[in-house]
Each structure stands twice: as structure tokens, then as C-alpha cells.
A and B are shown apart, each in its own frame.
Chain A
Amino acid sequence: MPNFLHRRNFLRFTTGLGLVVGLDYFSPAYAKQIKSIKADQTQLKYPEIIDLIIQETGVKIGEQNATGITVNNSIPAPLIRLKEGQIAKINVTNKLDEDTSIHWHGIILPVKMDGVPGVSFAGIKPGQTFTYEFPIIQSGTYWYHGHSGLQEQRGHFGPIIIDPIESDPFQYDKDYVVMLSDWTFEDPYDVLKNLKKMSSYYNNQKRTVENLSEDSMWRQMRMDPTDIADITGATYTYLINGLVPETNWTAIFKPGEKVRLRFINGSAMTFFDVRIPGLKMTVVQADGQNIQPVIVDEFRMGTAETYDIIVEPKNEQAYTIFAETMDRSGYARGTLAISQGMTAPIPKLRERPVRSMKDMGMNHDMSGMNNNLHMNHDMSGMNSNSTMNHDMSGMNSNSTMNHDMFNDEAVPNISNDFGVRNAGVPMMVQSRLNEPGIGLENTGTRVLVYSDLRNIAPGYDQRKPDREIELHLTGNMERYMWSFNGKKYSEEKEIAFYKGERLRLTFINQTMMEHPIHLHGMWMELDNGAGQYKPRKHTIIVKPAEKLSVEINVDVSGKWPLHCHLLYHMKVGMFRTVAIMDHPVEAG
């Protein structure tokens, strides 16, 4: 039984009336009823100082005992609630016997507060307390996590809510955080060792001799069409707010109420496909940024992404919150109900998808390939799905669409020599922003796509980018090597951004896997055809054989990480430091 410390021990607090926020615990939830965190914000009292203690703690994951790296003895770490305009002051004490750190994911802050050892600071040594102090200049749903070793996999992550100065442009009655994660009872370093020995170690859904002839092309290219996730339900237990599916985390509503659910994918390696059978979900925020509402049946979350949705359950019943993993090897589950203890049917896991030739950058049909291929083939160019989608939501007017740079045509993949560090280079690369992603193509329902995301207001900066940089996502699955431009971090450490420039950064995915790319310290404005309404994101999924661009205002100084947010991809080298340099003096 974990020793649960009362939160009062950790809140140093000034006098004053009002509801105490700042820190809130989800876990151990069997000891604590989950309440809506919605409150009249004018009545909230935000603590001036938040104390966090990182240590190893015995935790219970389902029925099993384990040792996790916890923040204030909780997995996930406590909810940190802040107010836009305040100054956050957070003391982090390291009670581990190794270095640790906290990175505030998606928060725009001074470079020394970013919390990445070796880039923004030295890390927090055992026994040391580091004080983070930064002004809060944004609002929305974010999260925080360790950026040291593989600590994040062991529970070192938690949610952040920043209440806006002005209320959000949507109404809701209840407010819940739904933090998704993946837990393994193995030592994360053993997991990495296993992947290095045999990259398909955790894939228990390979194709068999039955599909031998269909797979001839894949076998010839030495690729596995079932390589959807590196680490799967074979070792992972998937959690909602630290709870296993059987424990069934439950959010309470009254029929007719609007319920805001703040989904955070705090997993180390898992893409989740989220739906609530029986309810339409209105997506109102992506990566903490308000967007023009989109009504969907399902959405995919790459690792580290967040989506805020609003649902309006009308009936006195329970609804299952179902977060299926992209490779269909497991799920996290919770319930929306009118009272605790109610359940709704749990959907069956769908069949795991199989990679298509499009993932390999080949658009022509191959006889005997899987059904997805035909679908993909038809969809190349303008996606019929998305046209329909726009009609359904009725929110996204296409009239202001700005196609000045956005281009979704397939182009030959020319720069393709990354030597031994890259296996299986796609022949063609193209935008796939209007595709829902592998396994969601033929659901017959409305699935969120990246081209749906439109900022609520026009971008603050309408400058054309001064400069374009291409960054290739590369890897050799056979040896479990992941890199950028064919070089892992230790081989090429830095990318230069120029201070003050507006940069167009183009990602080209040369691999057969999706990578959620995260840039620290600056927003990436996704060039998804939304013109001035480009959504701002901190983490962007780049699909296999995809070429996509983001625009960045380089309005900061110092050094900032840019990396794949799949923890083990980052660990083995898919990482760069962005160094903000002075613009070189132009010759001539």
C-alpha cells in the first residue's frame, strides 16, 4: 500500500478565502473520489509556491504492486493548476538516487526553466531542490514530465491546467482531466534492451504464413507490415489517470450537462484512438490552444498531444470512454456516468491495421495487398472523407482557406541517402494531413484529421517564412536505431534557428512509423491549409512517408530540444538541440 501523503503537507499557502487549487491528486483514486475540477475561477485561490517531491514509491497498478517514480507519491503526478498571468514558482526536490528533472510540456517559458538536463540546465541532483519560476502567458491543458533517462515511463508525469484570464469561448458544467498512459512492470531499460536485441520483441500480432504471398513485397523490402507500435499490450497496461481498465475511472455528470474532458496522452510510446460510443465529441482545444470546434466520433492522440473535448450526455446512463491503442493490442478505459459504479459495454478491440503501400511511399496498386491500399489509392489527392467531414461539422468554412504554401501532392523523395542509419526509403512523400491515420480509414464514422484543426483567431504573425529547413525522420528498425537526417544526437547535436526569423520547418518521414515530433519553447504552426488560422501545436504526428511543414516564430534565445516524443526513439538518438543564433550577415 503506497503511503499517501496528504496534499496539505505539500502546499505552502498564504491566507485568504477561496477554493484551494494548484495541486490536485488523481491517485491513488481508490482512496479518493474524483470530482469535477470545474469551479468559479474568480473564487479559486492559486498557491504562490508549489512543492513537488520526486521519489521512488510503492504503487498499485491494478492489483499488482510495483515501484514507480512518483511526484508527491502519486501516479500520475498531481494536477498543477495555474492562472494565466501569474508567476509559477515550483520547488522540485529530488529524493531519488539519480538525477531527475521536470519539463513543462507545451509551456512557453524562459529557456533556463525548460527543465531538460544538458540543454536548459544541469538537472536536479539527488537531494537537491530546484526552483522553477516562470510567468504564465498562456492558458489551456498541458502536462509535465521527467526529462531524465526513462523516468517518464515509470510514472513521472502529470497534468497541468492553466485557467485563462478571460473564460474560454465555450460553455461547460463539468471539467475532468483524462490522462492516458502506458505502464510496464518490466524495468524500462530491460524493455530497451529487448528492442535492441529484437526490434519486434513486443509484436505479438505479426502476419503468419497465411499471408505469405500477399506479403511478398514487404518481405522483399525486409519490412513488417504489422510494425505499428514498438511496445505493445504484450508488456503494457494502459491507464486512465493511473487506473487500469478494470478499476474503471469514472466521471460523473447530470443529464444535459456539458462535460469538458481534457485528454492528455502522457504515455511513453502509445498512440491512442479515443471514442465515447453513443456520444459526439466536440473538440475545442488541441495542444492547449482553442480551436474552431469540430464535432467528431473519434480522434487519434499521438504521444504527448492533448485534446479538450466537450460532450453532452443526455441520458441517465453510463458511457464508456474508450482509448484503444493504435496497434489494437490493448486499451485504456473509463466511464462517464450519472453515478459511481455504473458501467457501459466495452467495445471489442478492432483488428490491428496493416501498413499500406502508401506508408512506404508507393502509390501504385499491388496485387494482393490489403484492403487499405485500395482505399488509400482512391484517397490520394483530395480526400473525399474530409469533404464530407466539413459538411458534417458545419463549423469549418473553407472560404478563407489559404493554399499559398500548403500542397498535398505526392512528390518524389529525392534526398534519400542516409546510409546505414535508414532502411527502406519511401519513393514518394506527400502531405497526409487529411488522413485520419492507419486503422481509422474505414471506420464509417467521423474521425478528426489534422486538416480540421483551425485556430480560433487568425495567427498573430502573417509573415511569409524567411527560410525553410528540411528535417528528415530516419531510422533502421532492424537495429532499433532512430535519428534525424540519418544522424543520432551524439553524431549531430545542433540545428540552427535564427533569432527573429519566421522559419518554415519541413518534416519528411523516411520511416515506416508515425513519429510525434515535439519542439520546446516555441509554437509550431501547422501548415494544414487553414491559412491564417493555422493551429499552434507543441507536438505533431508525422505519418510514414509524409512531408509536412510548420511555421515557427523564432522569438526566443538559447537552446531548445526538438525530438521525437516516443520515449525510446528519443533515448536512442531521435533528438536535436535547436540553437538560436544571430542571423548570419548576408554576403553581397
Chain B
Amino acid sequence: MSLKTIIYSSFLTGLLSCINFLTDVSTVKSEIIQNLEKFKLNETIINSNQDIFTQDFGENIVTNESLNQEFAQQDDETPNKDEENWPSPIEDDEIFWFLLVDQLEYRGSDSKDFFRWDIEGWVGGDYERIWLKTEGEVAFAKDDGGEAEIQLLYGYLIAPFWDLQVGLRYDRIYGSEDDRGRAFAVIGLEGLAPDLYEVDTALFISENGDLSARFQVEQELLITQKLILQPRFEINVAAQKVENFGIGSGVNDIELGLRLRYEINRNYAPYLGINWIRLVGETENLARKDGESVDNFSVVGGIRMLF
């Protein structure tokens, strides 16, 4: 491209921006034609442009001097007086919440039948969220009691798929003996691992200084758009023996679950499945001593709900 072309074109731009406010259409028009003639880039285009510009602009143009001056003022750079009071063009910092009742189920096995829940929710923004997690079970037989756990955590997004969570956990066991409870400090990591494994793992320090950890992982496998298979694995380990809670040191238990749900819609999905819990090591021995089952296979049925 020649320098001449550049000069002409910038000249032309200047002229056309004059048109923007329709100040003096006729002089602009004739100058454009002159420039277009010099601006010989493409014959046909020149011709078509000449057609456009040589014809009369007609009577349709409203030329209102006062209005144009007004526009010129509007377009200047003086800031608006009340600009600080303007709303934000978008609100991208809103608080959202999420509540997933992942398990709300009946668990039936040879030894005893439970009602079980596993619920998780958060409230917060993109980076920071307050999490609430609770799980537990209640036996249908009166004397068998039950146990419940609740966690209140602060979560921070530390990687695109990972939330770091810190907070408190409280456990309660109730039933035939006295009710017992204990509190923990929690540090955990929850997120999506490669291959779409949903991971929830945490380290717990009890009020007595006992250290334990939990690792949970699950996946969603779509059989169809509505029929979804959810395999699940959980392992609990402890550094110390806590006899009062039936926990030995080392690996405590392994749990495997497989649930098949039917999503009536995204919010409600009844399911059926199987669940197997196996106590191991010292924990297994403690349970045997108490006459409890150490190998628990159950059939489950329930509903999963997203709010």
C-alpha cells in the first residue's frame, strides 16, 4: 500500500467523521467525490461509490443546528456529575447457594435396617463458599441407636477444579449406651479429579488430638440421559485408637456403593443400589468384641434431590 493511499484514506476518514453530525453535507459530499476519484483502488467500487455520492442527498436529512450542538456537547469527555451513583452495568458478585441431598435412603441388611442421609450444601460466590455437610444413620430397631456427623466449613477455590476447605466437624453417637460426642478441626480438599472423579477428602484432628482422615470418591456414569449409575468408594483411617468410638489405629473401614438413579428431572431422582461396608484391622477387632457385624452388605433405596 502506498503512502499516498494511506494519506488519502485517512483524509477520507476525517471527512466521513464530519458527516457523522451532518453539519455541512453538501460540501462534504463534493469533497468525498473528489477524493474517491483520486482514490483509485478498484474501478467498480469507485463507480458504485460515485453512484452513491453523486446522487442528491434529498430533503430527508434533518439538519437541526441546535440539536447537533447538543450532541457535540454530549459527546465530550466531561464526566457525568452523578456517575458515582450509577448502578453497576452488571452484578457479577452475587451470592448463590446449592443443596444436594445425595443420599436419603433406606438401608436393609441381614443384621439391621437403617435410615441414612448424606447431604451437602454451600452458599457463597465464585471463590469463597460456606459449606455444610452432614451424614448419619438411624436404626429402625429401637435399641440400635445411630450416629450423626455435621461439618461446617469455609471453602476457597484454589485451582480451577479444587476447593480447599477448613472448619469444624461434630460427631454424635447415640443408642444403647450413653450418648457420646466429639468435635474435630477439619482441613479438606473437594473437587473434580482428572477422569471426572468427584473427590472429597479431609484430615481431622479431634478435640483430644487424635488424627484421622477420610477419602471419598465417586463417579457418574450415564447409561442414558436419565439413568445414571453412581459408583462410590470411601476409606477411613486413624492414627490413634479411640476405643470409645470403636476406632482402631490404621485403616478403619472400606465402603463401596453402587446406586442407579432415574432422574425424573434434575431435581428429583429416586434410586436403588447396593452398599457394602467392611471394618478392618483394629477397628474390626473392637467391633467383634462388642458383638457387632464387621461385614455389612445392604440393599438401598431412596431419593436424591437437588435444590
Contacts and interface: CB of A to CB of B under 8 A. Distances in A.
Indicate the member of B17, B19, B49 with the most A CB atoms within 10 Å: B17
Interface string A119-152: 1011100000000011101000000000101000
B245 interface: no
B74 A572 contact: no
Given A420-B160, A490-B92, A573-B90, A111 B13 contact: no
Contact of B89 (A205, A420, A489): A489
Contact of A458 (B41, B157, B195): B41
Contacts of A461: 9-10, 12-13
A573 B90 CA distance: 7
A398 interface: no
Contacts of B60: 83-86, 165
Contact of B87 (A87, A111, A122, A209): A122
B22 interface: yes
A188 interface: no
A207 interface: yes
B231 to A, nearest CB: 12
Contacts of A404: 1
What range describes how many residues of B lie at the interface?
A: 35 or more
B38 interface: no
A481 B124 CA distance: 13
Interface string A522-536: 000000000010000
Interface in B219-244: 221-225, 229
A149 B88 CA distance: 10
Contacts of A119: 89
B13 A479 contact: no
Nearest to A208: B222
Interface string B1-15: 100011001101100
Nearest to A113: B74
Contact of A457 (B49, B58, B64, B229): B49
Interface string A211-237: 010001001111000000000000000
B86 to A, nearest CB: 5
B63 to A, nearest CB: 9
Contacts of A201: 266
B55 A166 contact: yes
Nearest to A483: B92
Nearest to B219: A219
Interface string B57-74: 110111010011011001
B92 A573 contact: yes
Contacts of A219: 194-196
A95 interface: no
Contacts of A476: 160
B89 A86 contact: no
A197 B98 contact: yes
Contacts of B160: 419-424, 476, 478
A561 B89 contact: yes
Interface string A167-198: 00100000000000000000000000110111
A419 B156 CA distance: 13
A165 B192 contact: no
Contacts of B221: 209, 212
B280 interface: no
Interface residues of A, number: 83
Indicate the member of B21, B55, B74, B160 with the most A CB atoms within 10 Å: B160
Contacts of B52: 166
A277 interface: no
A328 B22 CA distance: 46
A197 B61 contact: no
Nearest to A488: B92
Contacts of B74: 110-113
A117 B86 contact: yes
A123 B87 contact: yes
Interface string B64-105: 100110110011110010100111111111001010000000
Contacts of B85: 122
Contacts of A489: 88-90, 92
Contacts of B48: 169, 456-457
Given A422-B160, A462-B1, A116 B89 contact: yes
B45 A458 contact: yes
A318 B266 CA distance: 40
A460 B9 contact: yes
A196 B45 CA distance: 51
B176 interface: no
A479 B126 contact: yes
B306 interface: yes
Contacts of A165: 57-58, 60-61
Interface string A256-283: 0000000000000000000000000000
A564 B44 CA distance: 37
Given A147-B89, A197-B98, A571-B92, A85 B75 contact: no
Contacts of A113: 74
Interface stretch (A69-77, A359-367, A428-436, A552-560): A552-560
B281 to A, nearest CB: 34
Nearest to A216: B195
Contacts of A196: 96, 98
A583 interface: no
Contacts of A147: 89
A400 interface: yes
A573 B71 CA distance: 31
A506 to B, nearest CB: 21
A420 B68 contact: no
Nearest to B85: A122
B22 A137 contact: yes
Interface in B198-257: 221-225, 229
Contacts of A488: 92, 126
B67 A133 contact: yes
B27 interface: no
A575 interface: yes
B213 to A, nearest CB: 24
Given A460-B12, A463-B9, A209 B92 contact: no
A575 B192 contact: no
B92 A117 contact: no
Nearest to A204: B225
A99 interface: yes
A314 interface: no
25 contacts: A85-B61, A86-B62, A87-B67, A99-B87, A110-B75, A111-B75, A117-B87, A118-B86, A118-B90, A169-B48, A209-B222, A222-B193, A419-B160, A461-B9, A461-B12, A463-B9, A478-B160, A532-B41, A555-B17, A557-B75, A558-B75, A570-B90, A571-B92, A575-B89, A580-B77
Given A222-B192, A461-B9, 10 more contacts: A87-B64, A110-B75, A119-B89, A122-B87, A194-B266, A201-B266, A205-B225, A207-B222, A460-B16, A557-B76
Q: Which 10 A-B pairs have the closest CB atoms?
A: A573-B92, A118-B89, A423-B160, A85-B61, A462-B9, A208-B222, A196-B96, A461-B13, A110-B74, A197-B98
